[in-house]
Amino acid sequence: MLDFVQHRCRQSGEGIKMKKYRVYQVDSFTREKFSGNPAGVVYHADGLTKRQMQQLARELNNSETAFIFTGKKPDYDVEVRYFTPTTEVPICGHATIAAHYVRAIEEKLSTSCWVQKTKAGILPIDIEKDETGDYTIVMTQGKPEITAPFAHELIVRIVEALGITLADLREDCPVAIASAGHSKVMVGIKERCLLDRLQPDLVKLSAISGEIGCNGYYVFTLHPEEKVLVHGRMFAPAIGIAEDPVTGNANGPLGAYLVHFGLCQELAASDVFEFYIIQGEAIGRPGTMRVRVEKKGQLPTKIQIFGQAVIVFATEIEM
C-alpha cells in the first residue's frame, strides 16, 4: 500500500517526506528473550503524530509501546508517551524499563540519573550499569494513593467476573484500588494454584472498569516465608490487554497497598520495605522485579521498581 501511494504521488508530481524511525522489541523484567513482558520502543520519535503512534502500537501489538521524545531542559531530559493497541495511557512500568534500557544501549550511558516527562507527571529514572556492562533501570513512580475498600456488592461482582468465590479471598487483603500514577484493583487470594487457573470473564471485568474508573485487576498471592513474596496476574481488558505478563504499574502500587493496610509487617519493620515478585508464570512469560517502598509507619511515601531487560530485535520503519 505504501509503494502504491508513493507511486501515485510521484505520478502527480507530489513529494512525500519520509522519516526513518528506529523500532525495538524489548522483553522487560527478564534477561532471557521470549520471557518477561514485551514492549515496543520507538527511539527518537520526534515528528510522529498521535495517530501515527497509535498505528505503530497497533501494528506492534504489544500491551504497550513507548515513544521517546527529546526533552525540554532544564525541566526534563526526555519525554515518553505510551500507547496500547487501542489507546494512549499515562504511564507503563515495563515499557518505561524498556524505553530507558534502549536509551542506555543507544547512547552508551553510564550509571546516571534522568528526569522523564509522562502524562502521569515528571518522574526520575535511574540507570545502573553493572560490571558486565548491562543495565538495570530504576523507575520512581508517582504519588501512592489507596482508596477505601470496596462495598460488598461490588466485591461480589468482581469475584464473579474473576471466576472465584468470596471464600477464595484473603481476609486480610481488602479489595481496593491502589495507584502510583496508574491505578489497579488489588485482589489478594489464598492459593497460588487457584491463581494459575484463573480464567476471568473479560467482558464483565471491562464493564466494571467503566463504572469504577480503573482498568486493571491485579490478583496476587503472598508468600512471606519465601524469597519471592508475591506471585501475581494482571488483567486489563478495558484497554485491550487480556492479560499483562509482568506489570510495573501493578506491583509498585501493590507495595503501597501492602504498607497502607499493614500487611507483611514482619518484612516491613524499617522505613524501607523491599520485596521481589514473579508474574507471568501462568502464560509462559515469567518475569521478576524488585519493589522498594519508602514509608513512614503505614504511610507509603515513595515507590520504586527495579527492572532488567533484553532486546529481542531492532528494525527501522519509514513514516
C-alpha cell at position 206:
471491562
In sequence order, the 6+-apart residues with CB closer than 8 A to the CB of 219 are: 162, 187, 188, 189, 195, 198, 232, 233, 234, 235
Distance CA 300, CA 298 (A): 6
The amino acid at residue 251 is N
Distance CA 265, CA 232 (A): 20
Q: Check: CB of residue 247 under 8 Å from CB of residue 216.
A: yes
C-alpha cell at position 248:
510495573
Distance CA 55, CA 86 (A): 9
C-alpha cell at position 162:
474473576
In sequence order, the 6+-apart residues with CB closer than 8 A to the CB of 303 are: 140, 141, 142, 144, 180, 252, 253, 255, 256, 291, 292, 293, 294
C-alpha cell at position 273:
520495605
- The catalytic residues are 64
Which candidate, 156, 238, 211, 143, places its Cα nearest to that of 182? 143
Distance CA 240, CA 85 (A): 7
Distance CA 15, CA 25 (A): 31
Sign of CA dihedral 219, 84, 305, 183: negative
